[in-house]
Amino acid sequence: MKITDIKCAVIANSPVIRITTDEGITGWSQIETPKPYMQPIVLQLKSWLVGQDPVNVERIMKRIRVRGGFKPFGAAVSAIEIALWDIAGKAANLPIYRLLGGKVRDQVRTYRTLYQHEAKVGHTPDDYRKWAEYGMALEGGFTMFKLPTSYHSSMVADFPDFHYGAVQRDAPFPYPHKGLISEQGFDHLVACVRAAKETLGKGYGLAVDAGPGYLKQDALRFAKAVEDLHLLWIEDMITGDYVPYVNADVYREVTPHTTTPIHTGEQIYLRQNFKTLIDGHAVDVIGPDPCDVGGIAELKWIAEYADLYGISIAPHGTANGIFGLASLIQVCATLPDNLIAFEYPARFEPFWYDITEGFDRMPVKNGLIDVYDRPGLGVNLIPAKAKKYLTEGDSDFFD
């Protein structure tokens, strides 16, 4: 079998990859929703793919890994890897998990990130109580939630003098704030998180997405202040989303000194860049994203390595779309018992269920998803239904 073409179309702000072969087998994948600018980066890899045998996934990945990097640039390479596994599974008439060594669980647990805008709340303790109530009422019966707060939210701008720094309202990058948190800002933050957890009670797990932007002293102060809440983890306080480095040594000055689990990793590309976090026990939980880390086989390798060191994994996936959801289910079915849960890709429009075949609407029940046996990813785009969502420049996507 040979790859004949690779195309990338933007559907609802989400780049979708289509790899075609001379045997009529098509591989699909998707890049995180807010990345339409990745389309030309995907297409510039075409010459490294055409003519290659797609079922030799690792051989092709050795050709293109060097062309990726920390988020967002590893997304193109990662999406291609996932589409190659989709082809390999279809060629063997097997789900991807069978090609990765088989499943160790029949259901995978997923957690739901709750966003301020969807719950129509702000950043006060009362808002956080409403936020928690909103989560518990969601379809799917999720048992774990994550709340964006402090530097990973508008709390910095909404609460006066949250930190000792200027509030940048028009900064050209996602999380522009960093610096020492004020005493009143710190007390407000703790009160908000406490309100959410007390509303959820012991029957639900709560994680907090907090940065990047913390100085190490505030990171430790915050983690210790909420130790009694039994949080799942605090995420990305020091580094995180779109930060192009790891800073494991700084995390090591926080993690050993608190019982609150410390988490990071969604922006990191490739296993080699997890070494210092894992070898040095710099964090308790890692969160690689299959759509950014280099693909699903890369994530599995990292999870197994982390398990040797007693480090847990909770893969990222907030905006990975319906194909990202499929990839998370397939790889998480195969991971060791250090898996906590993966982040449910909640940020895609309902029409995706209509233009794809595979999922019968929301697949989550009681916070769990059944591991299915459809070949490859188990999700396919339906050209006749998807065409109306293509932009004019992508009109030849299905040709």
- List the domains of the chain with CATH numbers: 3-93+381-394 (3.30.390.10), 99-376 (3.20.20.120)
Q: What is the pLDDT of residue 166?
A: 85
Q: What is the pLDDT of residue 215?
A: 98
Tokens of 317: 């996936």
Q: What is the pLDDT of residue 168?
A: 81
- If one counts every other C-beta atom within 10 angstroms of the C-beta of residue 288, the result is 31
Q: Residue 371 gets which letter from DSSP?
A: P
Q: Find out whether 65 and 45 touch, Cβ atoms under 8 Å.
A: no
Please tell me the pTM assigned to this model: 0.97
Residue ranges in the chain whose pLDDT is less than 50 = none
Alpha-carbon distances of 321 from 155, 306, 342, rounded to whole Å = 27, 26, 14
Q: What is the pLDDT of residue 172?
A: 64
Cα gap 210→239, rounded to integer Å? 10
Q: Residue 146 gets which letter from DSSP?
A: E
Q: What is the pLDDT of residue 225?
A: 98
Q: What is the pLDDT of residue 23?
A: 98
